[in-house]
């Protein structure tokens, strides 16, 4: 939750000044083409900012998020529970998003004067990357939930807890046995101590009687 909050704060720090200082404005861009004696003028509306450094800043931050996601996927690669180990699926999703962005962004920039092609490429990159990420990360979980039923997660936790309890039972029984042995040994030592105290008292009494004899 803390990581998501930090990411939202960083997004706000980037997007809020962008919207206040240099907001997106709609501009009309005209391009002309000549065909023999005919001049065709294409007019299209372009939404952009005056400064060009806002998008690279945002793209750099999102790239760092991809790297951080790859790092988290690498960290959980050794998780033994298959339901929690999504490292391969996350890595594949990050790979897909990275490849689509690397290929799609330059193509959109090169086809900026062709809005139809630019729109098609942008839509393809967004829809494909989102669909692949959702399919590979969340679809296996939905399939697993459908197989095990609504209480599958609870059953998994209960089975894990039972396994832990069963594995801890031998340790508990051995601990009780050891405690019983120690209690028995302590009782024996206390009995021996009492016997020694009684014997010492007897010897003292016998020694006192001898000293008072005529």
Helix (H) or strand (E) holding 80: none
Q: Which pLDDT band holds residue 161 (cuts at 50, 70, 90)?
A: very low
| pLDDT value for 158 | 40
| pLDDT value for 170 | 53
From residue 2, how far is each of 5, 6, 7, 71, 102 by CA, in Å? Answer: 5, 6, 9, 17, 30
**For residue range 96-143, what is the model confidence (pLDDT) as tens digits?**
888 888 888 888 878 767 778 888 888 998 999 889 888 888 888 788
Please, what is the angle between helix 139-148 and helix 115-137, to 10°? Answer: 40
**For residue range 49-67, what is the model confidence (pLDDT) as tens digits?**
888 888 889 888 888 888 8
Distance between CA 69 and CA 137 in Å, rounded?
A: 13
| pLDDT value for 127 | 93
pTM score: 0.52
Percent of the chain's residues with pLDDT above 90: 5
Distance between CA 186 and CA 195 in Å, rounded?
A: 14
The overall average pLDDT reported for the chain is: 77
Contacts of 70 (CB under 8 A, 6+ apart): 90, 91, 94
| pLDDT value for 16 | 92
* Burial class of residue 121 (count of CB atoms within 10 Å of its CB; 0-12, 13-18, 19+): buried
Q: Which pLDDT band holds residue 176 (cuts at 50, 70, 90)?
A: confident
| pLDDT value for 154 | 42
Cα dihedral 192, 196, 201, 202 sign: positive
Helix (H) or strand (E) holding 207: helix 152-212
Are 125 and 101 in contact by the 8 Å Cβ rule? The answer is yes
């Amino acid at each position: 939750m803390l990581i998501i909050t930090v990411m939202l704060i960083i997004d706000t720090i980037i997007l809020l000044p962008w919207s206040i200082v240099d907001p997106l404005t709609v501009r009309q861009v005209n391009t002309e083409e000549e065909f023999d004696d005919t001049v065709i003028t294409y007019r299209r509306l372009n939404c952009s900012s005056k400064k060009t450094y806002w998008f690279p800043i945002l793209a750099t931050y999102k790239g760092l998020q991809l790297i951080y996601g790859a790092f988290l996927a690498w960290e959980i690669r050794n998780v033994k529970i298959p339901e929690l180990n999504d490292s391969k699926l996350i890595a594949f999703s990050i790979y897909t998003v990275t490849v689509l962005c690397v290929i799609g962004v330059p193509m959109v920039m090169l086809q900026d004067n062709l809005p139809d092609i630019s729109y098609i490429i942008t839509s393809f990159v967004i829809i494909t990357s989102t669909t692949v990420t959702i399919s590979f990360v969340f679809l296996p979980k939905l399939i697993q939930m459908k197989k095990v039923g609504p209480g599958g997660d609870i059953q998994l936790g209960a089975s894990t807890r039972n396994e832990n309890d069963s594995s801890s039972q031998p340790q508990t029984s051995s601990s009780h046995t050891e405690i019983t042995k120690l209690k028995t040994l302590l009782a024996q030592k206390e009995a021996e101590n009492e016997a020694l105290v009684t014997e010492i008292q007897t010897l003292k009494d016998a020694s006192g009687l001898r000293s008072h004899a005529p």
